[in-house]
Amino acid sequence: MNIEEITSYCKRTGIIFPSSEIYGQMPGFYDYGPIGVELANNVKQSWWKNFVQNRQDIIGIDGSIIANPLVWKASGHIDSFTDPLTECLKCKKRFRADHLIESKAEMQSDGLKKEELTKIINDKKIKCPECKSSLSEVKDFNQMFSTNIGAVNGNTAYLRPETAQSIFASYKAVMDSTRISPPFGIAQIGKAFRNEISPRNFIFRKREFEQMELEFFTKKDEKNECPFFEEIKSMKLNILSAEKQEKGISKAEEMSIRQAFEKKIFSNKWQAYWTAESINWMIGLGINPEKLRLRQHMKNELSFYSAGTVDIEFDFPIGYKEIQGIADRTTYDLTQHQNLSKQNLEYFDEKTRKKEILYVAAEPSAGVERIILAILFSALTEEKERTVLKISPKISPYKAAIFPLVKKGLESKSKEVFDALKKEFNCFYDESGSIGRRYRRQDEIGTPYCITIDFDSLKDDSATLRMRDSMKQERIKIKELTEEIKKRINKSQA
Ligand code: GAP
Residue-wise pLDDT for 17-75, tens only, equals: 999 999 998 999 999 999 999 999 999 999 999 999 999 999 999 999 999 999 999 99
**CA–CA gap between residue 373 and residue 367 (Å, rounded):** 10
CB-CB contact of 242 with 108 (8 Å):
no
Q: What separation in Å is there between the alpha carbon of 410 and the centre of ligand 1?
A: 50
Give the class (CATH, top level) of 3-73+153-379: alpha beta
Domain 388-491 superfamily per CATH: Anticodon-binding domain (3.40.50.800)
The pLDDT, as a whole number, for residue 492 is: 78
Categorize the per-residue pLDDT at 344 as very low, low, confident or very high, splitting at 50, 70 and 90: very high
Q: What separation in Å is there between the alpha carbon of 366 and the centre of ligand 1?
A: 7
**CA–CA gap between residue 231 and residue 209 (Å, rounded):** 33
**Residues within 6 Å of ligand 1 by CB:** 162, 164, 194, 196, 205-206, 209, 211, 213, 322-325, 363, 365-367, 369-370
Reported residue count of the chain is 494
Contacts of 227 (CB under 8 A, 6+ apart): none
Mean pLDDT over all residues of the chain? 96
> How many other C-beta atoms lie within 10 A of the C-beta of residue 149?
12
The residue type found at 342 is: K
The pLDDT, as a whole number, for residue 491 is: 87
Could you report the per-residue pLDDT of 150-165, keeping only the tens digit for each?
A: 998 899 999 999 999 9
Categorize the per-residue pLDDT at 343 as very low, low, confident or very high, splitting at 50, 70 and 90: very high
The closest alpha carbon to 70, from 157, 170, 177, 200, belongs to: 157
| Cα angle: 380, vertex 204, 360; to 5 degrees | 115
If one residue of 214, 370, 373, 375 were mutated to test the ligand 1 pocket, choosing by the most ligand atoms within 8 A of its CB, it would be 370
Helix 34-48 and helix 269-285, axial crossing angle in degrees, nearest 10: 140
CATH 3.30.930.10 residue window(s) in the chain: 3-73+153-379
Helices (H), 15-96: 34-48, 70-75, 77-80
Contacts of 255 (CB under 8 A, 6+ apart): 236, 237, 239, 263
> How many other C-beta atoms lie within 10 A of the C-beta of residue 6?
21
Q: What separation in Å is there between the alpha carbon of 204 and the centre of ligand 1?
A: 9
Q: Is residue 8 exposed (0-12), middle (13-18) or buried (19+ Cβ within 10 Å)?
A: exposed
Categorize the per-residue pLDDT at 428 as very low, low, confident or very high, splitting at 50, 70 and 90: very high
Strands (E), 219-344: 236-240, 253-256, 292-296, 308-316, 319-328
The residue type found at 147 is: T
The pLDDT, as a whole number, for residue 493 is: 54
For ligand 1, atom 4: residue with the closest CA: 162
Least confident of 106-115, 327-336, 394-403: 106-115
Contacts of 180 (CB under 8 A, 6+ apart): 57, 59, 174
Q: What separation in Å is there between the alpha carbon of 9 and the centre of ligand 1?
A: 24
The pLDDT, as a whole number, for residue 169 is: 97
CATH 3.30.40.230 residue window(s) in the chain: 82-142
Q: What is the mean pLDDT of residues 236-262?
A: 97
Indicate whether this model's pTM tops 0.85.
Answer: yes
Q: What is the mean pLDDT of residues 269-284?
A: 97
Q: What separation in Å is there between the alpha carbon of 211 and the centre of ligand 1?
A: 7
For ligand 1, atom 6: residue with the closest CA: 325
Q: What is the mean pLDDT of residues 69-96?
A: 95
CATH fold of 82-142 reads: Herpes Virus-1 (3.30.40)
**CA–CA gap between residue 430 and residue 276 (Å, rounded):** 41
The pLDDT, as a whole number, for residue 179 is: 87
Q: What separation in Å is there between the alpha carbon of 367 and the centre of ligand 1?
A: 6
**CA–CA gap between residue 218 and residue 360 (Å, rounded):** 6
Instruction: Read off φ and ψ for residue 367, nearest 5 degrees.
Output: -95, 130
Contacts of 437 (CB under 8 A, 6+ apart): none
Strands (E), 104-160: 139-142, 145-148, 156-159
CB-CB contact of 309 with 302 (8 Å):
yes
Categorize the per-residue pLDDT at 411 as very low, low, confident or very high, splitting at 50, 70 and 90: very high
Going by the DSSP 8-state scheme, the letter that residue 399 receives in this structure is S
Q: What percent of the chain has pLDDT over 70?
A: 100
Torsion of CA 5, 468, 455, 459, to 10 degrees: -160
Taking 80 as the threshold, does the pLDDT of residue 480 lie above it? Answer: yes
**CA–CA gap between residue 434 and residue 408 (Å, rounded):** 14
If one residue of 322, 330, 333 were mutated to test the ligand 1 pocket, choosing by the most ligand atoms within 8 A of its CB, it would be 322
Taking 80 as the threshold, does the pLDDT of residue 494 lie above it? Answer: no
Q: What percent of the chain has pLDDT over 90?
A: 94
Least confident of 102-116, 220-234, 414-428: 102-116
Q: What is the number of the ligand 1 atom nearest to the C-alpha of 207? A: 23
For ligand 1, atom 21: residue with the closest CA: 205
